Amino acid sequence: MSSIGIYIHVPFCKRKCAYCDFFSVCSLKAADGFTSAVLKDMERFRKKGIKADSLYLGGGTPTELGKQRLCRIIERARDIFDIDRSAEITVETNPQTAEGDTPKSRESCAAEDGKGRAAGSGNTCTGKDLQNSLSVSGLCKAPAGSDDIRRGNIAGSTKETEKLFESLYAVGVNRLSIGMQSSNDRELEFLGRRHKAQQVKASVMAAKAAGIENISLDIMLGIPFQTEQSLEKTIGFADSLPVSHISAYILKIEQNTAFYRLFKQGKLDVCDDDLTAKLYLSAARQLEERGFMQYEISNFAKKGFEGRHNLKYWHDEQYLGFGPSAHSFFEGKRFYYPRSLKDYEAGVCPIFDSEGGDAEEYLMLGLRLSEGISFERFERRYGYPVPEKTVKTAKELEKHGLMTVTDKGFSLTRQGFLLSNEIISRLI
């Protein structure tokens, strides 16, 4: 068996972001139970002789778990799956989230009671309006010390953050993914992010001081009232920091989020499709001009710093996921855990999803990559060439500037990336 990837979903957050549909909870009451459950879950695979060359801890905000629990999980994963120092070990974090070994329990996020309304006029919801709406509706209660957070004094000093990163580095973490989203205060306020740009810089420099060299930043595109100018400043700020990877995601209004409920009520304006497309193309151009080459729809990296773990997913390779809502593709099968922390702690078995790894799935995932689909690799993997119908459709789309077709394979153009779901459905 070739080396696989390991993913661990750590579902704890300081607060729930209004646009996020990932499974998360805003209380650390179950932190010890979750840690024990993950350790026990991984232990089931000890005797299988599995070797992994990537470990990714996502969430949620994994660093909210506290360094002792987090390091314990990483050390156990490295032991069970024979993960050495040459592997890519990534931890997601938000700026200045470190609070030492015993973070205080957060206020729980309450369910929307349907009584809240935005405070602004018309359909436009400003950052302040949004926070008022969320507060009134009871969607998410402010954590302790929220006044300090609004002033930019996030709990956990730079020194504490450095100590956390030093501990992570000591157990093998060599890559951090930091949720910046924007360097514009107004855009951050709208998104409900309670950090400032300088706190992003402090976190990056703390990671560097701790020895972590490979750092990725998330930025968001298509934020209402975002402009090409504000986006350019965000990209310029990111480039001013010693980072090697940038993920640029388009804001989507997902169901089961606060943004979706406000949008359905007519209380939230969204960025129109034309402007979003313009921002995406502008971001891709600016990032490549600064040396961050696009290798996937939403991901850009300096040479040699492409995300190894995520490439496994897009190349349709095997990985094991642990934690509530985590998905796996292992031994030809796809399965996942329910979105329930209680069920995961109780040892509920993962749910079978489908057989995995077929040709359609390979095409669908591979077309997210700038490299696209190689005719040779496809035939070597499946024993037959890419279907003639698929190649013919790709050539037709090439005429419209949406695909590139050569004698070696085919791929989406940047314009094609913007319509990837529609194009892929036509190809497969």
Domain ranges of the chain: 4-314, 368-428
Are 101 and 66 in contact by the 8 Å Cβ rule? The answer is yes
Which pLDDT value is given to residue 302?
A: 98
- C-alpha angle 314/317/321, rounded to 5°? 90
User: What pLDDT does 2 receive?
Assistant: 83
The model's pTM: 0.87
DSSP H helical segments within 81-221, as ranges? 127-137, 146-150, 158-170, 185-191, 197-210
**May I ask the CATH class of domain 4-314?**
alpha beta
Q: Cα–Cα distance between 287 and 301 in angstroms, integer?
A: 9
Distance in angstroms (rounded) separating the CA atoms of residues 162 and 371? 37
What's the mean pLDDT when you consider all of the chain? 88
Distance of CA 208 to the CA centre of its chain: 21
pLDDT in tens, 227-256: 999 999 999 999 999 999 999 999 999 998
Query: Can you tell me the distance from the alpha carbon of 64 to that of 27, in angstroms, rounded to the nearest whole number?
Result: 10
Q: pLDDT value at position 85?
A: 87
Residues of the chain with pLDDT under 70: 1, 96-157
Note the pLDDT tens digit of each residue in 96-123. 664 433 344 343 333 332 322 222 223 3
